[in-house]
Amino acid sequence: LNTLNFKDISITTNGIFLDKYAEDLVKAGLKRVNVSLDTLKPETYKCITKKDYLSEVKNGILKSVDVGLYPVKINMVVMKGINDNEIHDMFGFCKDNGLILQLIEILETDNCEDNDFNEKYHFDMTPLEKEFTDLASEVTVRKFMQDRKKYFIDGGEVEIVRPMDNTKFCENCTRLRITPEGKIKPCLLRNDNLVDLISHIRSGDSEKDLEEIFISAVNSREPYFIDD
């Protein structure tokens, strides 16, 4: 980790190893982190992830705050009948620990393999947005991020992330993802432009070679949503 240079980028992670690596990530230059956490209930966490790592994730989140990562954002995908009754509890957890909550609406796309899942678990954020508007002492708009609204409520911050089905988001997106198979994924919604990374790391490729692989992944990026 000490050989990496994160500069002012962020990472998104499930947080399982954050407790172990958060300090090293800060030393390497990481400034901020997003952690995927959909529930505070152990049984629900295990139902969603098929794993029992909730304590490790929470410890990693708190460690991230302790070592100076800021902001630490919690990504909560809201699912009807699964965790929609935990929104206020999650907001309380975030507010109490200096975290920013991002409530994410399920994304449905034409190439989704299981839109039945989306239909079953999609949670309409509209009433929640109205509630937050009434409760908030201040509401700001993030123009760069889809005109996304940020609500400041009782000392806490919460954002609602709508599906990314517009050109504004695509043309400003700078995210790269790493798949479980060790491939770079330049676009959340595409699987036809993945770039192999793990085999090059395992074969001992130089940092310059790895840098060129990342650059090639960036260059393969193109907007998924395009205006007609």
pLDDT in tens, 175-200: 888 998 999 999 888 889 999 999 99
Residues 175, 102 share a domain: no
Rg (CA), the chain: 18
Question: Does 3 have pLDDT greater than 50?
Answer: no
Q: Which has more pLDDT, 187 or 39?
A: 39
In the chain, the amino acid numbered 219 is N
Average pLDDT of 151-162? Answer: 94
* 47-86 tens-digit pLDDT: 999 999 999 999 999 999 999 999 999 999 999 999 999 9
Q: Which has more pLDDT, 145 or 46?
A: 46
Residues 126, 79 share a domain: yes
Residues 148, 195 share a domain: no
Residue 1: predicted pLDDT: 44
Does some domain include residue 186?
Answer: yes
* Strand, helix or coil for residue 81: coil
In the chain, the amino acid numbered 133 is T
Residues 158, 192 share a domain: no
* Strand, helix or coil for residue 138: strand
Residues 197, 109 share a domain: no
- Helix-, strand-, coil-residue percentages of the chain, each rounded to 5: 35, 20, 45
Residues 126, 222 share a domain: no
Residue 165: predicted pLDDT: 56
Which residue intervals of the chain are DSSP H helices?
Answer: 18-27, 42-49, 54-66, 87-96, 115-121, 126-135, 167-172, 198-202, 207-219
Q: Which has more pLDDT, 119 or 46?
A: 46
Domain that holds residue 20: 10-163
Residues 191, 179 share a domain: yes
Residues 227, 144 share a domain: no
Give dist(CA 121, CA 115) in Å, integer. Answer: 10
Count of domains observed in the chain: 2
Does some domain include residue 144?
Answer: yes
Does some domain include residue 1?
Answer: no
Residues 172, 152 share a domain: no
In the sheet with 177-178, reading across from the earlier edge strand, the strands are 177-178, 183-185, 195-196
Residue 2: predicted pLDDT: 45
Q: Which has more pLDDT, 227 or 208?
A: 208
> Of 126, 145, 163, which residue sits at a domain end?
163
- At residue 109 the predicted structure's pLDDT band, cuts being 50, 70 and 90, is low
Does some domain include residue 4?
Answer: no
Instruction: Find where tokens 């460690």 sit.
Output: 63
CA dihedral 128, 122, 13, 215 (to 10 degrees): -110
Residue 190: predicted pLDDT: 85
Does some domain include residue 43?
Answer: yes
List the structure tokens of 143: 């123009």
Average pLDDT of 138-157? Answer: 86
Which pairs with CB-CB distance under 8 Å and at least 24 residues apart come from 167-170? 167/223, 167/225, 167/226, 167/227, 169/145, 169/225, 170/223, 170/224, 170/225, 170/226
Residues 157, 74 share a domain: yes
Residues 185, 82 share a domain: no
- At residue 145 the predicted structure's pLDDT band, cuts being 50, 70 and 90, is low
Residues 209, 135 share a domain: no
Average pLDDT of 115-136? Answer: 90
Compute the mean pLDDT over every residue in the chain, rounded to the nearest whole number.
Answer: 88
Question: Does 20 have pLDDT greater than 50?
Answer: yes
